[in-house]
Amino acid sequence: MQTLQALSCRETQRSFTTNTNGEIRIAKILKEKFPQASSLKVVDISGGCGAMYEIHIASEEFRGKRTVQQHQLVNQVCPKYCVVLDVVR
């Protein structure tokens, strides 16, 4: 089985089969805020240096809310990290 790899900010390789410390930290914060989420995924899209994260959440808590309202809920929890969001109803 092959593993996808990418260059991080420091020009070192990172395996996508493991989570970075930042991904783990943000996922923990989001799991505490959205305990009923059926799916939660945090991906460091900066190549492993923690400068930018992509967050995917599926939760009933977002049902009936506009996209901007969904994004605001997530940004309130971790505004420092939330750059690219995909919130699923």
CATH number at residue 28: 3.30.300.90
Reported as a single tens digit per residue, the pLDDT across 26-36 is 999 999 999 99
Number of domains making up the chain = 1
- Domain of residue 24 covers 5-88
Cα of first residue to Cα of last residue in the chain, in angstroms, is 34
The reported pLDDT for the residue numbered 89 is: 44
Reported as a single tens digit per residue, the pLDDT across 60-71 is 999 999 988 988
What is the pairing mode between strands 13-15 and 5-7? antiparallel
The reported pLDDT for the residue numbered 52 is: 80
Q: Which residue has the tokens 């900066």?
A: 46
